[in-house]
C-alpha cells in the first residue's frame, strides 16, 4: 500500500515569499488534520518573485534557536 503524501504550495501576490503568522498557523492545523487522515504533509511552500520559502524549514530552524 502506498501512503498518500502532499506538498501544499501557494503564492503571495505581494511577491514576498516570507510565510505570515497565518500561514504558519494554517500549516500547523493542516498537519494535524492530514495526520488524522493518514496523509503525510511533506511541506508547505510560499512562492513569490522567483523565490520560495519552505514553512517546514522555517519552523524547524525556529525551534532550534
Higher pLDDT, 59 or 40: 40
- Establish how many alpha carbons lie within 13 A of residue 14's alpha carbon, considering only the half-sphere containing its beta carbon: 6
pTM of the model: 0.81
Q: Is the pLDDT reported for residue 44 higher than 80?
A: yes
3-state secondary structure of 46: strand
Higher pLDDT, 13 or 65: 13
Q: In the chain, what are the domains? A: 5-64 (3.40.140.10)
Grid cell digits, residue 40 = 503525510
Q: Is the pLDDT reported for residue 54 higher than 90?
A: yes
Kindly report the backbone phi and psi dihedral angles of residue 12, in degrees, each rounded to the nearest multiple of 5, phi listed first.
-105, 115
Range from 20-24, 29-33, 56-60 carrying the lowest mean pLDDT? 56-60
Grid cell digits, residue 4 = 498518500
Q: What is the mean pLDDT of residues 47-64?
A: 81
Amino acid at each position: 500500500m502506498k501512503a498518500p503524501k502532499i506538498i501544499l504550495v501557494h503564492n503571495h501576490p505581494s511577491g514576498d515569499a516570507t510565510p505570515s503568522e497565518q500561514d504558519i498557523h494554517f500549516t500547523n492545523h493542516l498537519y494535524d488534520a492530514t495526520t488524522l487522515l493518514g496523509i503525510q504533509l511533506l511541506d508547505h511552500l510560499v512562492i513569490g518573485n522567483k523565490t520560495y520559502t519552505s514553512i517546514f524549514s522555517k519552523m524547524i530552524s525556529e525551534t532550534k534557536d
